[in-house]
Amino acid sequence: MNRTTTPAAGLSDRALGWLRFMWDKATISDDWSDLGEPHPWWDRYSVPPMCAFPRFDISYMAYVLPVMLETTPAWREAYTRIADELIRRYTSFWGAIDWCTLVGPDPGVDRYPPEWLVMIPERLRGRYAIPGWTGNGVEPWGLQPDPVGADGNLFYRGWLNLLLGIRRYVSGDGGEHEPFDVTGYRNRTFTWTHARIAEFISAQLRSRPQGPHCENTKIWPFCVSAAGLGLKLYDALLGTSLHEPFPRWVDYARQHYMSLTRAGDLDTFALYYDPIEQQLMTLPGPFVAYGVLPCLPYLYPQDRRFAVWLYELAVRRLGWNSPDVPLGRLHPDAHDLCTVLWMAHEMGDTATEDRIRDFAESEYQPRFFGDENDRFAFWFGYDSTWPRGQLNATLMLAESGSPGAWWRVFNEPRPPPASEPVLRGVDYPSVGIRRAQNDTAQGLLSIETTAGTPSRRGEPTSFTIDQIPRPAQASVTVDGRGSASWQVTGRDSIRLDLDIGDHQISVAFPG
């Protein structure tokens, strides 16, 4: 089946297929307590050792939700449900398993495989904890049982804050002061709110010019950038100024965490900096760009000019922009290549995007799968039952939104349509929503449905449209023909009855 296009006005079959699989992952009943284990489809395998935790799959998976929302701003239910399920897992034992179990010095510090050792400064190899070993409890920090309230572990609370912001964005709900529990060391629980986490991160960023630590004791530009982005979104949604310290950190990073050759090429870029060892870890040769690439999605919405400059430096250093060199010969890392494809798409670098997309199409095994062949993902050459979540979450951003969609989430956020029609009670995933957009000037709500579950095609379904002004004066067309299969159900709501399938629905409402 040839289903690869990305219609400008609606979610593509691929995007809908990825959303369907995200729904599966989010809504399955698996046990993330210390007595259970996440379902194996949660990606705790990619980018070992530092990202091989299921929490990273959660974080990355959420990014596409606000991007998809741009195409269906009048329908938010599925995105909200997925975000809720992600947060529930993130705050569980397995969400913070690294901080809560990788305690004390790593007893295996002299047994790392060679490909992990290269992520440690040469002089420290064989006696220094690998990236990802959080080392909670070591001197001088002591045991800090709260995964959020800690001197280190920024990569936990920074991404949690971003995830909470995304949840708020896609749901349109408030709740920044609503308390929730986070599971910590020995299953102790700690109560936080979105607002307190954001203010805490901002305070740490303000008082620590190098940036807060992740593992004890490593500062990652990657993680500080993500933490900054969470603050950026918080400010965009709530009108605060918690992001204010971040530009100063960018200045610091430009001065101390990177350098150029005399020819203006990227020479060093910190994978991380350890202020106790006074050691900046940077990879040699073109591998230096691997320190830059993970930062780009987070920096781009915060400092577009800096991020574009870094992107160009990194892509040139890797040679991925050279049309004369086959990418396959360069042994590109899949996650980094996915990131560059997403960023090329986001920034409008069509030459690089086309080149990498061609490579991904031929090498990364895109396919529909599942009982009804309606889920979609890339397999990346892995002989695995389930597609790699972290890699797909990144690559699918280039499939699910138009250029600039990610930047707009943080800089031109769409407030919840308080006075525009919205869909409620859609029987997802039986019914898929390819598009749901209001044109308030024309007084028109446009909806495209599809059979989210193909075996349900043709069965009756219904959903409600709320916030319709003077609903008795509305008119509905389905597939270009006037429809009488709707009724007023409230003072500002109507209910549509239809069959599950591909339909173009227009609801005209008085302005």
Partner 1 sequence: MTEITRPLAGRRRRGSGPVPAAGLRVLLWGLGHGLALASRVSAPIRSQITRTLTVEISADDGVARHWNFDAHWHRVSSAAGRAGAPDFAVRFTSSGRALRALTSPRAVDRIMGGLSHGAVRLEGNPLILLWFNGLVRRLVQAGRADSSRRALPGGYLAHDPAANGVEKITIEPPVGELDPRSTAAWNARARLWIVRGGCGDPLQEP
Stretch that binds partner 1, among 13-21, 101-109, 398-406, 422-430 (CB under 8 A): 101-109
Whether 441 contacts 455, CB under 8 Å: no
Joined tokens for residue 77:
């239910």
Whether 466 contacts 77, CB under 8 Å: no
Q: Which residues between 164 and 193 bind partner 1 (CB under 8 A)? A: 185-186, 190
105 binds partner 1 (CB under 8 A): yes
CA-to-CA distance for 225 and 151, rounded, in angstroms?
A: 17
Q: Rounded to 5 degrees, what angle do the CA atoms 264, 266, 269 make?
A: 140
Distance from CA of residue 212 to its chain's centroid? Answer: 21
Looking at beta carbons only, is 196 or 457 nearer to partner 1? 196
Looking at beta carbons only, is 55 or 456 nearer to partner 1? 55
97 binds partner 1 (CB under 8 A): yes
Quote the least distance from Cβ 388 to partner 1, whole Å: 8
116 binds partner 1 (CB under 8 A): yes
23 C-beta neighbours (distance < 10 Å), count: 19
Q: Which residues between 363 and 422 bind partner 1 (CB under 8 A)? A: 382, 384-386
262 binds partner 1 (CB under 8 A): no
212 binds partner 1 (CB under 8 A): yes
Could you tell me the sign of the dihedral formed by the alpha carbons of 146, 151, 152, 153, in that order? positive
Stretch that binds partner 1, among 56-64, 117-125, 306-314, 352-360 (CB under 8 A): 117-125
Whether 447 contacts 10, CB under 8 Å: no
Looking at beta carbons only, is 281 or 500 nearer to partner 1? 281
Among 3, 30, 48, 240, indicate the residue that binds partner 1 (CB under 8 A): 48
Looking at beta carbons only, is 273 or 486 nearer to partner 1? 273
Quote the least distance from Cβ 282 to partner 1, whole Å: 6
488 binds partner 1 (CB under 8 A): no
**Greatest distance between any 2 Cα atoms in the chain:** 76
155 binds partner 1 (CB under 8 A): no
Phi, psi of 133 (to 5 degrees): -80, 105
Count, residues in the chain: 511
Give the contact letters, 323-362, x = binds to partner 1 (CB under 8 A), - = no: --x---xxx-------------------------------
The set of residues, in sequence order, having a beta carbon less than 8 Å from that of 328 and lying 6+ positions away, is: 359, 363
Joined tokens for residue 296:
């780009």
31 binds partner 1 (CB under 8 A): no
